[in-house]
Amino acid sequence: MRFVRLSHGSGGEETNELLSELLFSRVPEAMKRVPGGLGIDLPDDGAVIPAKDGFFVVSTDSYTVNPPFFPGGNIGMLAATGSINDVVVMGAKPIAGLDSVIVEEGFPIEDLETILGSLVDVFKKEGVALVGGDFKVMPKGGIDRIVITTTVLGIAERPIVDLPKEGDRLVVTDFVGDHGAVIMMLQMGLGNAEELKCGMLKSDAKPLTPLLPVIEAHSGQINAARDITRGGLGGVLNDWARNSETVLVVEGNLPIREPVRRYSEMLGIDPIYLASEGAALFSVKAEAAQDFVEDLRKHGFENARIIGEVRKSEKYRGYVLMKTVVGGFRVVEPPRGELVPRIC
């Protein structure tokens, strides 16, 4: 008899394999999307539904981060931020959200007040109406503290399809791996590390709505966009290479903060697989890439940069290759296993 493992929820290869076997393969092709839209035919957290004068974009996600409070935020702000970001990187302006909260009996009311207050504050600040939801309590031991599910609806004139094309340049908006590194350190008992205590290293969780004017200004030049959550940058790159049947070539010196790199190496984890909750990856037409980066920097993403390109190759189709310091390449494997359980 087979059993569900933690790695099945990591967002990596095990997740894809399980969902393909148990869900995607059982849904008829005609039911995988609304006609004229996108759905699980291109698996992601969100879907695109045609409307009269544009498109609805909707995303739903569950959050079960451990611990629920961490430097830089808590599970409430993470839940609101994550679903908003899923909609933004599909090219839509978020307008409404719903939440579902399941909490364990005995959970401190004061902590719950802080968490829900953070969730509401994010929606309020981003102008997203909180229009519905659900609340349930499980008996003690029936759930580990708290789980929050958020659904966000947005509107787009021209949604991003999320399929890189040959010749595109890969652009990242910020340092990667911050959120994953913080959660990893807390779970490994390194919560008193100097960088955490001094605030030098904290979760990068934040809404990506400042990207919207940049996306609008470069509409038609962006072929794919994704926020870099479970599976990290390595996970997104491998998804794109597989779905587009191209080879993605990235530089070896990726934008990773020194503390993230140092602690990852100490714990034997490649930071390319660590989640970010406030960074996005774009695949942009080559001729527009540098202007796109400069526009990102003008809108507050001062660490934005080009990190690679999309190429055609029969031999390496579906692979991600990273340049090495000696001038060669190494394969960036898809994420497997559960590097950091319950990261978001």
Per-residue pLDDT tens over the stretch 147-171: 999 999 999 999 998 889 999 999 9
Residue 124 shares a structural domain with residue 193: no
Burial of 282 (0-12, 13-18, 19+ CB in 10 A): buried
Quote the tokens at residue 187: 């779970």
CA pair distance 176, 279, nearest whole angstrom: 7
Residue 317 shares a structural domain with residue 175: yes
Question: Rounded to 5 degrees, what are φ and ψ at 184?
Answer: -60, -45
If residue 160 lies in a helix (H) or strand (E), which one and from where to where?
A: none
User: What pTM value is reported for the model?
Assistant: 0.93
**What is the CATH number for 192?**
3.90.650.10
Q: What is the dihedral of CA 197, 203, 209, 212, to 10 degrees?
A: 110
Question: Which letter does DSSP use for residue 38 in this model?
Answer: B
Examine the pLDDT at 8 and tell me if it is beyond 90: no
**What is the CATH number for 124?**
3.30.1330.10
Q: What is the dihedral of CA 284, 230, 206, 269, to 10 degrees?
A: -100
Residue 326 shares a structural domain with residue 201: yes
> What residues form DSSP beta bridges with 146?
103
Are 237 and 248 spatial neighbours (Cβ–Cβ below 8 Å)? yes
Examine the pLDDT at 199 and tell me if it is beyond 80: no
Residue 39 shares a structural domain with residue 80: yes
Residue 109 shares a structural domain with residue 221: no
Sheet holding 280-284, edge to edge: 222-227, 280-284, 169-172, 305-311, 247-250, 320-323, 329-331
Domain tally, the chain: 2
> pLDDT (tens digit, 9 = 90+) per residue, 314-332?
888 899 999 987 778 899 8
> pLDDT (tens digit, 9 = 90+) per residue, 297-314?
999 999 999 999 999 988
What pLDDT score was predicted for residue 148?
98
Residue 181 shares a structural domain with residue 143: no
| Residue 255: band (very low, low, confident or very high) from pLDDT cuts 50, 70, 90 | very high
Domain with 66, as residue range(s), is 33-156
| Residue 340: band (very low, low, confident or very high) from pLDDT cuts 50, 70, 90 | confident
Q: Which of 44-58, 198-212, 273-287 has the lowest mean pLDDT?
A: 44-58
Residue 217 shares a structural domain with residue 144: no
163 domain residue, yes or no: no
Identify the CA nearest to 65 among candidates 334, 322, 325, 344. Answer: 344
